[in-house]
Structure 1
Amino acid sequence: MATSRPRTRSQTNGTNMGTNFSRLEATPASKENGLSMVVAFKSGVSALCGLVFGIAVEKSRVFEPAVVTNQMLFRKFIMMKVFLTSLTVGMFFLSVLSILPFTRKSYLLSRASYIGGLNKKGYFGISLGGFILGSGMAVVGTCPGLVGIQMGAGVQNSVFALVGVLTGTVLYGVTEPYLTSLTKPSTPIKYHFLYQLMGSPPFIISFPIFSMLGIVVFSLEMMYPWQYEVAMQASDFVGKAVLATPCWHPYLCGALIGSLQVPLVLILNATLGGSRCYCTVVSQGIINKPMEKLSPYLAKFRKGFSNWWQVIFIGGSVVGSYISASASGQYGNVDGVSPGVAFLGGTMIIFGARMAGGCTSGHGLSGVGLLNISSMAAVVCMFSGGIVTAQLLQLMS
């Protein structure tokens, strides 16, 4: 019976082993290409969401300093209508995403990412930061997420608000270790979410809440119709394309903003927010170890798409507000505060937002939308700070 001869090492290397080597060499490249495509896709989604956000905010007019001031003085309620509509719609969608089997994983990842941003923070620090943020909003007439929209719409002196925001980011980054040691709770927060405290699923708790919020928004519109709160004439709306009209109904703008939670959760595993982007921008100036030791807080924002997506999002909002304002002929028509006040207010809003762990979008729309208890406290303090400061400035003037 014939016996088969074993193949030599050279024969083996020349056939099967060669094929294996080619596969091993192709695998890293294919993975890198796949990763690049995923990042490019997510970047596109971030930019598109930012574009929609910029258009919706510009059409709502809540980026105007006078609108913010009038809300804090209870003269007009456009800002509250847009905010509550965005919160109601966003809370509804987040609740639905939490119960659907094919979206629950993305919801949980987004929720975990949100809680990660509140690491080492307690109610005192979050509340104090929220109050500072609200006070700054009354001073400058904007919040961190809307500074870029003001620039895109050509609001006067908005660039000084941006400089103040960047300065405030550096200031907080340097002082963060000391502030954290002063405000860090002795024991970690046990219940982050309202439904954990009450022992019920998220949808069961959120359903009556967003239903009541919807009733409040409807009541505000009945008492204060939006047509009488915007400084526009009837001729501004006649015979014009949708994008060419100077403003849209608060319900529409708020619904668009709240709906952005869906693509952000499903594709980016994140929720609506904007103040972290300034940490990423400023952190690019950390170029060596001594600078990194000066602010370990800012250094952690340097790399990673989880940090950069908000930069892309805010960039998209600048483009969206510019397109919207230009299409309606409103570009550069909004008065801003003085350069010094813009700088001071910009510094205050970002310092407060970073101390609180979120801004009006992060805490107000996403945190409350997720039924986060500390976010609810932050929002109360934001509006308290804004109302108190606006009243004091009114008295002083």
Structure 2
Amino acid sequence: MEDEDLESNPKKLPGQYKVAIQELSAFSSSESQTWEGRARWVKGILGAACISLVAGVVLDLGKVVLPLGVRSQFIFKLFVMMKIVLGASAGSAYCLAGMSLVLPLQFNRVREEFMGAQQCLGIVPILVGAFILGCGMALAGGCTGKVLVQVGSGIPYSWVTLLGCFSGAAFYGIVQSKIEPYLIVGKMKSPKLEDYGPLKKVPFFVLATGLAVCMTIVIVILEVLYPWYETIPGGTTLWRTVVPPQFTGAILGILQIPAVLLLNETLGGSSAYMTYTSQFLRVCKDCPVVLGHLNSFRTGVANSCSAVALVFTIAGAAISSIAGGTYGKYEGVYPIEAFAGGFCVIFGSRLTSGCFTGHVFSGVALLSLKSMIAALTIFAGAITVGFVYFTVDPFNYTGRLGGAV
């Protein structure tokens, strides 16, 4: 069913989707019929392609998305992933803090949109979703963005993780209307950190910069204790086929600037899976009505940009790994773990209204209290599964790394 059919039959729509469908139809029409609209599409698509291509390249060069290496972080055997996480979060905070002074209109628009998406979400679904997301990361050895780099880098069975992600997106789209009443349980007064206690009088720039400095200090400490060049994968060459993880993280943080200016949003990736999954709604006449939440991801410039970003992230990783001679050289996880992990990663991401990148890189830098809670819970879930799995079967959890790290 086309969007025009939905608009012409508003009585068929659930109440919460009537306005959304009407706005979507009007927006799509204006975007496609005016020069300004076409320019926005072109700018968005090209911006998403370029940003994602760079992200795919630097993530592969950082070698921070190798599944068994990611798993090792959750049992505190390696700290490569922690360095990129802190580097990306700190880089994002520095850049967004600067934008809050130099480009306040663009920054405030993006921040308010991010906070608005979390406003009605209760703390309970955030905790549950983030924990599920973390469990999935420990199983699959990746998240919504990392799996794309794994696919591009030729990691065995990473495509199975990708299938699990799409399955998780489809499942959430099907059950969303059933669980929607429970998504507001534990609603908070405000998602903004500065809206609480003595922080109310502190400007965003000061808080974000202070947070970034603290994370930078932790990175320095980790680097002194665990030098990056001592934990690089086998078969790599320093500064040629592998670069410091904190450097990779810093580049990702800098990418927040073009993301805000060209895409009017911060970095994040779980919605792309919903966009691709929603295309199958075309095969059923009543599906767009019955699955209204999933249908909301089917069209529009923002959804198109996220779909393009998914493809170009894979492409960037493929270019980097092939050029560096590391394509397909590293171990993956078993298929059942890959699929289950991918499923949990996306289902948890949608339940908590944001993926690992969206919460940990962008949300923390935007001083979202809900994202900070989600970030801690993600690691709690991953660490729990990691230690349980490692205790039961250490060889299959990380032992197969052997001399690769």
Give the TM-score category using the shorter length: 0.7 to 0.9
Paired with 2:67 and 2:117, the residues of 1 have a C-alpha distance of 28
Which has the higher mean CA deviation after the structures are superposed, 221-230 or 59-68? 59-68
Of 255, 277, 280 in structure 1, the residue corresponding to residue 250 of structure 2 is 255
Quote the offset at 1:337 in angstroms.
1.1
Of 357, 361, 364 in structure 1, the residue corresponding to residue 357 of structure 2 is 361
Q: Residue 280 of structure 1 corresponds to which residue in structure 2?
A: 275
Counterpart mapping for 1:336-355 below 5 A: 336-355=332-351
Paired with 1:116 and 1:147, the residues of 2 have a C-alpha distance of 28
Q: Tell me which amino acid in the other structure corresponds to 1:247.
A: V
Which has the higher mean CA deviation after the structures are superposed, 38-47 or 112-121? 112-121
Paired with 2:249 and 2:32, the residues of 1 have a C-alpha distance of 42
Residue 280 of structure 2 aligns to a residue in which SS?
coil
Counterpart mapping for 1:283-294 below 5 A: 283-287=278-282, 288-294=284-290
Paired with 1:281 and 1:70, the residues of 2 have a C-alpha distance of 31
Equivalent residues, number: 360
Q: Residue 7 of structure 1 corresponds to which residue in structure 2?
A: none
Q: Tell me which amino acid in the other structure corresponds to 1:355.
A: L
> For residues 303 and 119 of structure 1, do their structure 2 counterparts lie closer, same or farther at Cα, with a shift above 3 Å needed?
farther
TM-score under structure 2 length normalisation: 0.85
Q: Residue 270 of structure 1 corresponds to which residue in structure 2?
A: 265
Q: Residue 229 of structure 2 corresponds to which residue in structure 1?
A: 227
Quote the offset at 1:115 in angstroms.
2.4
Quote the offset at 1:214 in angstroms.
0.5
For each residue in 1:222-248, what CA deviation from the matched residue of structure 2 results, as whole angstroms up to 9, or x when unmatched? Answer: 0000111112368x34xxxx6xx2211
Q: Residue 17 of structure 1 corresponds to which residue in structure 2?
A: none
Counterpart mapping for 1:361-380 below 5 A: 361-380=357-376
Residue 107 of structure 1 aligns to a residue in which SS?
helix
Q: Tell me which amino acid in the other structure corresponds to 2:224.
A: M
Q: Tell me which amino acid in the other structure corresponds to 2:111.
A: R
| Structure 2 stretches lacking a partner, 5+ long | 1-29, 394-405
Q: Residue 212 of structure 2 corresponds to which residue in structure 1?
A: 210
Contact 2:63–2:245 under 8 Å retained in 1: no
Contact 1:121–1:180 under 8 Å retained in 2: no
Counterpart mapping for 1:1-397 below 5 A: 32-100=34-102, 103-118=103-118, 120-185=120-185, 188-197=187-196, 198-199=199-200, 200-232=202-234, 236-237=237-238, 245-287=240-282, 288-397=284-393
Which has the higher mean CA deviation after the structures are superposed, 73-82 or 33-42? 33-42
> For residues 249 and 33 of structure 1, do their structure 2 counterparts lie closer, same or farther at Cα, with a shift above 3 Å needed?
same
Contact 1:120–1:180 under 8 Å retained in 2: no
Quote the offset at 1:387 in angstroms.
0.3
Q: Residue 10 of structure 2 corresponds to which residue in structure 1?
A: none
For each residue in 1:262-314, what CA deviation from the matched residue of structure 2 results, as whole angstroms up to 9, or x when unmatched? Answer: 01112211000001100111111112452123321111111111222111112
For each residue in 1:124-182, what CA deviation from the matched residue of structure 2 results, as whole angstroms up to 9, or x when unmatched? Answer: 10111000000000001010112211111101011111111111111111111222222
Quote the offset at 1:189 in angstroms.
2.9
> For residues 289 and 233 of structure 1, do their structure 2 counterparts lie closer, same or farther at Cα, with a shift above 3 Å needed?
closer
Query: Identity, % of aligned pairs?
Result: 31
Q: Tell me which amino acid in the other structure corresponds to 2:136.
A: G
Q: Tell me which amino acid in the other structure corresponds to 1:207.
A: T
Q: Tell me which amino acid in the other structure corresponds to 2:323.
A: A
Quote the offset at 1:252 in angstroms.
1.7
Residue 329 of structure 2 aligns to a residue in which SS?
coil
Paired with 1:193 and 1:119, the residues of 2 have a C-alpha distance of 10
Q: Tell me which amino acid in the other structure corresponds to 1:62.
A: V
> For residues 87 and 56 of structure 1, do their structure 2 counterparts lie closer, same or farther at Cα, with a shift above 3 Å needed?
same
Paired with 1:80 and 1:119, the residues of 2 have a C-alpha distance of 28
Q: Tell me which amino acid in the other structure corresponds to 1:319.
A: A
Q: Tell me which amino acid in the other structure corresponds to 1:45.
A: G
Quote the offset at 1:259 in angstroms.
0.4
Contact 2:31–2:37 under 8 Å retained in 1: no
Q: Tell me which amino acid in the other structure corresponds to 2:184.
A: K
For each residue in 1:58-101, what CA deviation from the matched residue of structure 2 results, as whole angstroms up to 9, or x when unmatched? Answer: 1111211111111001001000001101100110111111122x
For each residue in 1:31-76, what CA deviation from the matched residue of structure 2 results, as whole angstroms up to 9, or x when unmatched? Answer: 6234223311221111000011101111111211111111001001
> For residues 283 and 204 of structure 1, do their structure 2 counterparts lie closer, same or farther at Cα, with a shift above 3 Å needed?
same
> For residues 364 and 264 of structure 1, do their structure 2 counterparts lie closer, same or farther at Cα, with a shift above 3 Å needed?
same
Contact 1:94–1:107 under 8 Å retained in 2: yes
Quote the offset at 1:254 in angstroms.
1.0
TM-score under structure 1 length normalisation: 0.87
Quote the offset at 1:324 in angstroms.
0.5
For each residue in 1:159-210, what CA deviation from the matched residue of structure 2 results, as whole angstroms up to 9, or x when unmatched? Answer: 1111111111111111112222223236x53221112222121012122211
Q: Tell me which amino acid in the other structure corresponds to 1:316.
A: F
Larger radius of gyration: 1
Paired with 2:32 and 2:334, the residues of 1 have a C-alpha distance of 54
Residue 84 of structure 1 aligns to a residue in which SS?
helix
Which has the higher mean CA deviation after the structures are superposed, 202-211 or 350-359? 202-211
